[in-house]
Amino acid sequence: MSIRLQNIAKHFGTSRALEPVNLDIRDGELIGLLGPSGSGKTTLLRIIAGLESADREPAGRILFGNRDVTNLHVRDRRIGFVFQHYALFRHMTVFDNVAFGLTVMPRKSRPTSGEIRARVHRLLEMVKLEELANRYPAQLSGGQQQRVSLARALALRPEVLLLDEPFGALDAKVRQELRRWLRHLHDELNFTSVFVTHDQEEALELSDRVVVMSNGRIEQIDTPDTLYRTPTNRFVFEFLGDVNHLEGSVRDGVLTCGDARLAVDLPDGAEELLLRPHEVELVETATAKAHLPVTVTAISPVGAEVRVELEADWLGEPWLATVRHADYERLRLTRGMRLFAVPRRWHRFPDERSTPESKR
């Protein structure tokens, strides 16, 4: 089911939670709403669900496929909902929790008890909880409870699944597992999903497209790869990962900052360049184009890469470089070692210089 939001805005009293927003979600897409706390993600999700109504002015519209659902009650929107805190019925078994929505359907459309049993078993099989069907929520781990929530949300065969920080309360490993899992279910059952997260990694890993929000505005909507590589503005760039800053002044094609120099093809004037950690190469001798002396202050192997913290007199804040294990060994990196940084690539947002606050 495709979802189209046209001119959806929201105020709470006089404070604005959402500027007028337009968003087109394709049938079968898995969309992540990503942004810092207070950016309006949950408000947008709740408006899609019908748990919250949008402002009357401007008169926005919400379409599910060709159906205008703007004024439809949440119950009539055919939505599955998963919240951060599992919201399971504590006095019911796993089986009964999943079956609940089906058992309270109007008699006319309610499946027979045999059909309900079969459907619940199939769902529990999909979420790999068949063996725990007779347990109560208190007898399950957080991850298992969240899988029950998911099965329960899917029992009514929603065309749209909405998830509000679904894995927020779980530890890193379980989160990781459930993410893969949600992706798998989504692909198998082919519904449209929208989930809220403030975790960049989660959004980038799970989504077909990510909607990046700040201050009630949509900053960019793109695939994870495009967002990471070609952010359209500084906020998106800084929000999506670690950033190194290089500020200086350019004269005759050379940017100077203290005793650091970098050849750049830019006009004369003040300049600020931004680099991702993987865009910083470490070498033993400066090159003709880059003379950026740095000292290694910390080294931490993280998964497939080694994170190296770098300091220098010409730097305000330390830089972070990620290097492959092979390079780490070849360079024999140790704390206190003096090296040179070479930018492989850099980014700039000349119209959006950082404010003193954001640099701190």
Contacts of 159 (CB under 8 A, 6+ apart): 1, 64, 78, 79, 191, 192
Q: Which is nearer to ligand ATP, 48 or 341 (CB)?
A: 48
Instruction: Match 């504590």 to its residue by tokens.
Output: 90
Query: Which residues are 163's β-sheet partners?
Result: 82, 195
Q: Which is nearer to ligand ATP, 14 or 109 (CB)?
A: 14
Q: How many residues does the chain have?
A: 360
Q: What span, in angstroms and rounded, lies between the C-alpha atoms of 286 and 252?
A: 20
Instruction: Match 């060994």 to its residue by tokens.
Output: 329
Q: Which is nearer to ligand ATP, 153 or 196 (CB)?
A: 196
Q: Which is nearer to ligand ATP, 41 or 179 (CB)?
A: 41
Q: 150 vs 87, 138, 157, CA distance in Å? A: 11, 17, 11
Q: How far is the CB of 30 from ligand ATP (least distance, A)?
A: 18
Q: Which structure tokens are listed for 359?
A: 């640099």
Q: What phi and psi, each to the nearest 5 degrees, are found at residue 114?
A: -65, -40
Q: How far is the CB of 238 from ligand ATP (least distance, A)?
A: 17
For residues 203 and 36, the answer to whether their CB atoms sit within 8 Å is: no
Q: What span, in angstroms and rounded, lies between the C-alpha atoms of 342 and 283?
A: 7
Picking from 148, 119, 143, the residue whose alpha carbon sits closest to that of residue 133 is 148
Contact residues: ligand ATP, CB under 6 A: 12, 17, 35, 37-43, 198
Q: Which is nearer to ligand ATP, 159 or 164 (CB)?
A: 164
Q: Which is nearer to ligand ATP, 52 or 130 (CB)?
A: 52
Q: Which is nearer to ligand ATP, 147 or 198 (CB)?
A: 198
Q: How far is the CB of 193 from ligand ATP (least distance, A)?
A: 17
- Burial environment of residue 187 by CB neighbours within 10 A (0 to 12, 13 to 18, 19 or more): exposed
